[in-house]
A = this chain, B = another copy of it.
Amino acid sequence: MTDNTPLNGVSIHDKETPFLLLNRDKLERNVARLREHTDSFGVPLRPHLKTVKSVEAARLILTEGNGPATVSTLKEAEVFAAAGCKNLIYAVGIAPQKLARVVALLKDGTDISVILDSLEQARAVADYSRQASIAIPALIEIDSDGHRSGVAPGDNLLIEIGRILHHDGAELRGIITHAGESYHCKSLEEHQAMAEKERAAAVACADALRHAGLPSPVVSVGSTPTAHFSKDLTGVTEVRAGVFTLFDLVMTGAGVCQTSDIALSVVATVIGHQREKGWIMIDAGWMAMSRDRGTAAQAVDQRYGIVCDMAGNPLGDLLMVDANQEHGIVALRPGSQQTLPYLPYGSRVRILPNHACATVSQHGEFAVIRDGSEHIEALWPIIHGW
């Protein structure tokens, strides 16, 4: 799927900036950490590949390199399926027009489930299943936390949707939920409570389906925070998470990881100084970082990111405080008593991003390094589009 030939001699000090750097060892440790946690409950992980959007990264993340996995676009589904990942959930409420591509994947041997939360969608999926002579696997999304989509727990709509899917041509697979509100939890106790709320709602809805005589072999839960802080997974058949692979400053602020766990950074070059203002200008702007300012809503606002030296160590209170399209402004955190470090013209820094998913999507490839190495061992293409 890609050229991952070692790039002998290309170092992180030579590749033209801005570029996206991935520490493969950190990624592998992050994956091992969550796998250890979910393995302790005997529940498999179904990683969400919307964060890395890379076949090569997926091979390190997935069990035996090929699944199961979650995707956010049919483009991802098609690329990962072609690379051998044949067990997928497309975790965005299905639009009627997208069913043709879902069926094409199914007929090509990929077990891909769609998700839905309405009678209209259930009818569309059942009708299309009959028309295509293939039972499209479908999960009913439930709303465990008021965050986004899903049937409210306790609403009889769940059973009505289940009946249409099960009796009218589709394949009712079970229940799915995503406690996206977990990103806003502020303590270990809040995280644990959110994980239990997510689990309990999903299991109760699966039980409601079963009590109505409907199948629910799958009970799929997950978000990066709830996946890490769950203390009980009784009744759950799989856990989903995405950003745990790379981590970012939002996850640091939410208490899920340390800054040193973040596997992703953007490498930039110093292009100027506005000394009277205490500004250092760099050649990475929002095009390289994304416009995501997720930490603005947290206790510690990291602006456009924490500025590190080329070994990946934060340079005191230095932040990328503002961004234009291709310019970044680096300065001390507001209120800092530190002295602005001297970063000469042409020197390089690494910026830790607010939100890994958003920053990855701004780039065409990852430049991959190992712990302690300055040599880029591979370039991994990033999937774009829908």
Contacts and interface: CB of A to CB of B under 8 A. Distances in A.
Given A358-B291, A386-B16, A346 B97 contact: yes
Contact of A326 (B73, B272, B273): B73
Given A73-B326, A283-B92, A324-B148, A272 B121 contact: yes
Contacts of A326: 50, 72-73, 92
Nearest to A270: B95
A14 to B, nearest CB: 8
Contact of A291 (B180, B291, B346): B291
Nearest to A274: B149
The main secondary structure of chain A at its interface with chain B is loop
A239 interface: no
A263 interface: no
A68 B385 CA distance: 31
A286 B291 CA distance: 10
Given A97-B16, A291-B358, A364-B385, A327 B92 contact: yes
B95 A344 contact: no
A94 B345 CA distance: 10
Interface of A: 16-19, 50, 72-73, 92-98, 116-118, 120-121, 124, 143, 146, 148-149, 152, 180, 269, 271-274, 276-277, 281, 283, 286-288, 290-293, 324-327, 329, 344-346, 355, 357-358, 361-364, 384-386
